[in-house]
């Protein structure tokens, strides 16, 4: 994601909310014995607010991903998730988070197939020559199932934390219906979908095969996805962690339909779709591995072909409990975790400086800080959590921030010095460890 260069958007000056300042003061006490970790946390925890957030005059919030002047639905949610537990009694955080939810709802109405959007209808695009149905609001139009899941995840977490319901207006319900309709359409992609995507830049993972339709799939009940959370094209277009995320989000949407909108008919539709997708995961998404036993595949086409790997992005196999599909002690998840953290995973790397999961999105041998943070967040033992925190602390290349990928032998060789999602996920891990008293 380094190829595009535009002038940086000037973000508004935002005074840090009191709840965020209080966490930083708490860290000064609890992490005083680890000065480098303390400085990393003080840099990373407020990073989204200090560098990527703009409060808009219409009451919404625009959040760029960092070194790219566009807002990803997925990234912008994960950039603020560590603030949600602080929002109950902080009106400034409520304004920021609710504003982001409202902006996401606007974006979903503009194009439910897009993954990243502009601040305005300025006609900026990642690649102006993409063969797809573009809008001047859309930065990139790679359909990723998780892009529609993350805004619902944030809305649900915000509602449960604060009890506030001002975000649940007619536009929100209409966006829910759009998400439902897209999921239903993409259950039968080849028969019903209008979506196509091609990019002629010589990078196969940036474009869909078969004239932009993607490779053939069998009906499974799951939802087709063109691209992964890394923005790389799927090999087989039923992404299992993405469909697991859809199941969880459809459960959230059922609560919205039942308790907010009192729409029992829509509730039934949502419940039926959730069951169809979940049945597909259980029937088509589990691979009998000769070494690890039954594991969740990363992707399948429903014809018996599987992609066995894990990627550093979320949703991925490592993040299944984080998303809420199963708990971390689930037997198939534990088998899958052992696979993902082994050399059977083609994107697991071990070097002299670190070991962990990378991505086809970055060169061989590059481990992602987000993968290490997610491994720590989903770990079931204090020892593994502390190991991940120590590894993250040791591989920042003395920059004071997290990165995208870094070489497993040389952390000074890294991609993306300004990647707010990575800073936020690291902050979430350390904050939880502080609260749990293991630091």
Whether 223 shows a pLDDT value over 50: the answer reads yes
Q: Considering the domain boundaries, does residue 6 fall inside one?
A: no
| pLDDT value at residue 5 | 40
pTM of the prediction? 0.96
**Burial (0-12, 13-18, 19+ Cβ within 10 Å), 19:** middle
The pLDDT of residue 393 is: 98
At residue 12 the predicted structure's pLDDT band, cuts being 50, 70 and 90, is low
Q: Is residue 403, in this structure, part of any structural domain at all?
A: yes
Residue whose tokens read 């969740």: 296
Asked whether the predicted pLDDT for residue 355 surpasses 80, the reply is yes
What pLDDT, in 10s, does the model give residues 374-416?
Answer: 999 999 999 999 999 999 999 999 999 999 999 999 999 999 9
Q: What is the pLDDT of residues 324-334, one digit of tens each?
A: 999 999 999 99
Mean predicted confidence (pLDDT) in 153-167 = 98
Cα angle value 307/311/316 (rounded, 5°): 90
Identify the CATH number of the domain in which residue 302 sits: 1.50.10.10
How far apart CA 113 and CA 344 sit, in angstroms, is 33
Residue 210 lies in a domain: yes
What pLDDT score was predicted for residue 102? 98
Per-residue pLDDT at 11: 57
| 1 located within any domain | no
Domain membership of residue 279 (yes or no) is: yes
Decide if 143 contacts 197 (C-beta within 8 A): yes
Residues in the chain: 439
Per-residue pLDDT reduced to its tens digit, 45-84: 999 999 999 999 999 999 999 999 999 999 999 999 999 9
* 7 pLDDT higher than 60: no
Task: Determine the longest span between alpha carbons in the chain, in angstroms.
Answer: 60
Q: What is the pLDDT of residue 343?
A: 97
Structural tokens at position 162: 């604060």
pLDDT score at 3? 38
Query: Would you give the distance in Å from CA 90 to the centre of its chain?
Result: 25
Give percent of the chain above pLDDT 90. Answer: 97
Q: Is 9 inside any structural domain?
A: no
Confidence check: pLDDT of 9 > 80: no
Decide if 368 is inside a domain: yes
Q: Which domain holds residue 365?
A: 18-436
> What is the pLDDT at residue 47?
97
Q: Is residue 11 part of a domain?
A: no
Structural domains in the chain (count): 1
Stretch 147-153: mean pLDDT:
98
**Sign of the C-alpha dihedral, residues 317, 322, 325, 328?**
positive
Is the pLDDT reported for residue 2 higher than 50? Answer: no
Burial of 265 (0-12, 13-18, 19+ CB in 10 A): exposed
pLDDT of residue 15 exceeding 80, the answer is yes
Average pLDDT, the chain: 96
The answer on pLDDT for 194 being more than 50 is yes
């Amino acid at each position: 994601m380094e190829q595009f260069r535009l002038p940086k958007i000037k973000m508004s000056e935002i005074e840090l909310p009191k709840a965020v300042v209080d966490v930083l003061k708490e860290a000064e006490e609890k992490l005083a014995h680890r000065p480098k970790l303390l400085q990393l946390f003080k840099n990373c925890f407020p990073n989204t607010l200090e560098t990527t957030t703009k409060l808009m005059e219409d009451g919404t919030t625009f959040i760029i991903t960092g070194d790219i002047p566009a807002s990803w639905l997925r990234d912008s949610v994960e950039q603020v998730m560590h603030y949600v537990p602080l929002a109950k009694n902080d009106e400034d955080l409520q304004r920021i988070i609710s504003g982001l939810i409202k902006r996401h709802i606007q974006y979903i109405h503009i194009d439910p197939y897009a993954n990243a959007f502009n601040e305005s209808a300025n006609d900026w695009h990642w690649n102006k020559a993409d063969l797809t149905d573009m809008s001047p609001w859309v930065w990139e139009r790679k359909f990723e199932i998780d892009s529609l899941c993350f805004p619902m995840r944030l809305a649900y977490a915000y509602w449960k934390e604060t009890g506030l319901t001002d975000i649940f207006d007619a536009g929100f319900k209409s966006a829910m219906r759009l998400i439902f309709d897209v999921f239903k359409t993409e259950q039968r992609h080849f028969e019903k979908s209008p979506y196509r995507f091609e990019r002629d830049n010589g990078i196969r993972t940036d474009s869909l095969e078969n004239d932009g339709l993607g490779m053939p799939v069998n009906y499974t009940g799951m939802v087709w996805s063109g691209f992964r959370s890394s923005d790389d094209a799927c090999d087989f277009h039923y992404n299992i962690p993405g469909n697991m995320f859809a199941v969880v989000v459809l459960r959230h949407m059922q609560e919205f339909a039942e308790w907010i909108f009192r729409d029992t008919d829509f509730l039934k539709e949502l419940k039926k779709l959730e069951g169809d997708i979940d049945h597909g995961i259980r029937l088509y998404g589990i691979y009998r591995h000769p070494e690890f036993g039954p594991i969740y595949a990363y992707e399948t086409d429903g014809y018996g072909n599987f992609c066995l790997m894990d990627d550093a992005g979320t949703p991925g196999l490592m993040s299944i409990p984080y998303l809420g599909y199963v708990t971390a002690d689930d037997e198939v998840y534990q088998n899958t975790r052992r696979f993902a953290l082994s050399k059977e995973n083609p994107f697991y790397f071990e070097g002299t400086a670190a070991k962990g999961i990378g991505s086809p999105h970055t060169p061989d041998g590059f481990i992602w800080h987000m993968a290490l943070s997610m491994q720590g967040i989903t770990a079931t033992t204090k020892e593994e959590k502390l190991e991940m925190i120590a590894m993250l602390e040791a591989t920042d290349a003395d920059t004071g921030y997290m990165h995208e990928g870094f070489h497993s032998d040389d952390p000074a060789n890294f991609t993306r010095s300004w990647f707010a999602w990575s800073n936020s996920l690291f902050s979430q891990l350390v904050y939880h460890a502080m609260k749990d008293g293991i630091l």
